[in-house]
A and B are shown apart, each in its own frame.
Chain A
Amino acid sequence: MVKAMRSPAEVTRDLGALRDRATTIRRHIVEMLAAAASGHPGGSLSAVEIVTALYFGGYLRYDPRNPDWPERDRFVLSKGHGVPVQYAALAEAGFFPIEELKTLRRIDSRLQGHPVLGTAPGIEASTGSLGQGLSIGFGMAMAAKMDQADWRVYVLMGDGECQEGQVWEAAMAAGHHAPANLIAIVDYNKFQLDGATAEILSIEPLKAKWESFNWNVLEVDGHDLGAVMDALEWANSQERPACIIAHTIKGKGVSFMEGENAYHGVAPTEEELALALGELGETLERAETSIERNGTAQKEAGK
């Protein structure tokens, strides 16, 4: 079910158009991180298809002109270090001007280094201390349930984050109270800051863990946009909390960052940015025009 979407951004099931959007978001990510000269490329790039499907595949209900619209769906980025991917999507969706992305991490910017509620429009929770987003999202889901409202909550977590005990407190509680409007997505990119998740502290068997906490679970290739959308479709149809384990590649889309954990928390240099944009330019088909269109629409909306 595609819910009514109140966004000037293009909502589409056309995979070509969505792939272009994903590529545009990747370009924004590397550009804003290079401009900031700090930040987390790897875990931002791994989540691009997930975030693209949510914001532009028609799954997240939102109104960029009314970010606090009570009936909106909530997207909680629990892996807060990946916020460049959310800022890029929010800008593309028209929540704020695309030019503002270049202010990331600068003094006086709304685009804080990790998400902060009440700064950039469209941010739903303050995160960055890992493990907390699912509890917050669960609280939101219960608020909707109490009000018999039909909005949903999507919480995006990292795989390393699943080492935090609070994740499993929230998973157990949500499994018990079973709000059907709560969807957790694990961006399983196999790495954490210090190295491979499997070596530092294995979270496996991850699917069995979520299932044993009474969640419905689906594993998916997190870079296959069609598969991610099918998974979201599936999650929305569940009658209890659903978890999508999205297998991803850290740094996806930039050849020298893919699976290279050195780019967990190191921004690209100017030379690396040029290389990255070159690669991403080759995969870009129609996105440039869509940037111009949204940038113009946003400017007009801001008048």
Chain B
Amino acid sequence: MKSLYPGLTLGKATRDAYGETLRELGGQYKDIVVLDADLAKSTKSFAFAEAHPERFLNVGIQEANMVGMAGGLASSGKVPFISSFAAFVILKGFDQLRMAVAYPNLNVKVIGSHGGISIGEDGASQQSVEDIALACALPNFVVCVPCDEYQMRAAVRAAYEHKGPVYIRSGRPKAPLIYDAVPRDFRFGKAIRLREGADATVMAYGLMVGAALVAHEQLAKEGIHVRVVDVPTLKPLDEDEVRLAAVETGGIVAAEEHLTHGGLGARVAQAAARLHPVPMEFVALGDRYAESGDPEALMRKYGMTSEEIVAAVRRLVARRRNGDES
């Protein structure tokens, strides 16, 4: 089977970059405390645990308690980083994220690993497809999905430096390298323009950034030139970049590894509707759950590939050609 990201080099999984960066930060900042709910070897928070065992707590399999504890630690001056699978920490801990973190606006960093369906064989119960919608629903939260190991390193540092709640989604599989070094200018709320093009804009986060770059190359061969924007921060959204995409390219495709509802597509559409309405297309999971299977096979079967982005751009261009322009 052809690679999902032909032409791109696979780097580390973003979860690995998280663990390594957290270990480094832990040496630098003594107020960091790390909690995990019996998935430290999977979320990679064990990298911190090995280096700083006195500031690591494995709370066992109890996500709600872990989130509540993090609130108490934060209100006592610690900077807790708490990890579990995204599907568990966000969904099982949601009321606690609301009451003990978001509402009191406490300095808690939540890292949900195994985001999306690309975790593969474990199946839909472990795949997180609602986490972005839920996390974005929480006032005071910054919500971020880094696309590769370098951006994850920058995001974890930014999370420490940001005073307030942050949710970062990490991924299980190796992620194609989008950057060649840790970006120095990374900041929450800032999207990054990776490719220029005047015919449409593809906005994406996580693994779909790699797919968008592949789609850019494919479309260029057809004479369609798309801007590609990496949107690591879902909240706050870089609305200026949305406006510029709408004004300058006339149409937007949002691509994400998540339900079609409540994620990047919905947020970009809301911003565009207010700032400069243009036709949009959405590449995402739809309104359904996935299943067990090889990660790449799953991404293909459930429509989160460069080919789907190419098809969406073609639809968008066709709509505009047919006069469907706002």
How many positions in chain A have a CB within 8 Å of any CB in the partner chain?
34
Seen from chain A, the residues whose Cβ lies within 8 Å of a Cβ on chain B are 70, 74, 76, 116-118, 124-129, 132, 134-144, 146, 153, 165-166, 169-170, 172-173, 176-177
Bound complex: CA of A125 vs CA of B73, how far in Å? 11
| Chain B residues, CB < 8 A from A118 | 104-105
Chain A's nearest CB lies how many Å from the CB of B22?
17
B322 interfacial contact with A, CB 8 Å? no
Contact B95 A135 (CB under 8 A): no
Q: Please tell me which one of the listed residues B55, B62, B74, B106 contacts residue A146 in the complex, with CB atoms under 8 A apart.
A: B55
Closest residue of chain A to B106, judged by CB? A117
Bound complex: CA of A173 vs CA of B70, how far in Å? 13
Bound complex: CA of A70 vs CA of B103, how far in Å? 22
- Known contacts: A166-B96, A177-B57. The answer to whether A146 contacts B72 by CB under 8 A is no
Closest residue of chain A to B78, judged by CB? A143
- Known contacts: A165-B64, A166-B96. The answer to whether A125 contacts B54 by CB under 8 A is no
Kindly list the 3 A-B residue pairs having the minimum CB-CB distance in the complex, ordered from nearest: A139-B72, A135-B68, A139-B69
Contact B64 A143 (CB under 8 A): no
| Chain B residues, CB < 8 A from A165 | 64
B292 interfacial contact with A, CB 8 Å? no
Contact B104 A139 (CB under 8 A): no
| Chain A residues, CB < 8 A from B78 | 143, 146
Bound complex: CA of A160 vs CA of B65, how far in Å? 18
Closest residue of chain B to A141, judged by CB? B72
Closest residue of chain A to B99, judged by CB? A129
| Chain A residues, CB < 8 A from B55 | 146
Contact A142 B69 (CB under 8 A): yes
- Known contacts: A135-B64, A140-B75, A172-B60. The answer to whether A126 contacts B100 by CB under 8 A is yes
Kindly identify, within residues 205 to 235 of chain B, every residue whose CB is under 8 Å from any CB belonging to chain A: none
Contact A173 B65 (CB under 8 A): yes
Closest residue of chain A to B70, judged by CB? A139
Bound complex: CA of A129 vs CA of B93, how far in Å? 13
- Known contacts: A125-B104, A146-B55, A166-B68. The answer to whether A132 contacts B76 by CB under 8 A is no
Kindly identify, within residues 43 to 100 of chain B, every residue whose CB is under 8 Å from any CB belonging to chain A: 54-55, 57, 59-60, 62, 64-78, 80, 95-96, 98-100
* Chain B binding surface, main DSSP class: helix
Bound complex: CA of A118 vs CA of B105, how far in Å? 9
| Chain A residues, CB < 8 A from B98 | 129
Contact A142 B100 (CB under 8 A): no
Bound complex: CA of A177 vs CA of B54, how far in Å? 13
Q: Please tell me which one of the listed residues B57, B65, B75, B95 contacts residue A169 in the complex, with CB atoms under 8 A apart.
A: B65
Bound complex: CA of A126 vs CA of B68, how far in Å? 11
Bound complex: CA of A116 vs CA of B104, how far in Å? 7
| Chain B residues, CB < 8 A from A134 | 68
| Chain B residues, CB < 8 A from A139 | 68-74, 76, 80
Bound complex: CA of A108 vs CA of B14, how far in Å? 44
Chain A's nearest CB lies how many Å from the CB of B65?
4
Contact B100 A132 (CB under 8 A): yes
Q: Please tell me which one of the listed residues A74, A76, A126, A138 contacts residue B69 in the complex, with CB atoms under 8 A apart.
A: A138
Contact A126 B64 (CB under 8 A): no
| Chain A residues, CB < 8 A from B59 | 173
> Which one of A126, A165, A173 has the greatest number of beta carbons of chain B within 10 Å?
A126
Contact A125 B60 (CB under 8 A): no
Contact A143 B72 (CB under 8 A): yes
Q: Please tell me which one of the listed residues A124, A132, A142 contacts residue B99 in the complex, with CB atoms under 8 A apart.
A: A132
| Chain B residues, CB < 8 A from A127 | 99
B204 interfacial contact with A, CB 8 Å? no
| Chain B residues, CB < 8 A from A129 | 95, 98-99
Contact B65 A166 (CB under 8 A): yes
Bound complex: CA of A285 vs CA of B276, how far in Å? 71
| Chain A residues, CB < 8 A from B70 | 139
Contact A138 B105 (CB under 8 A): no
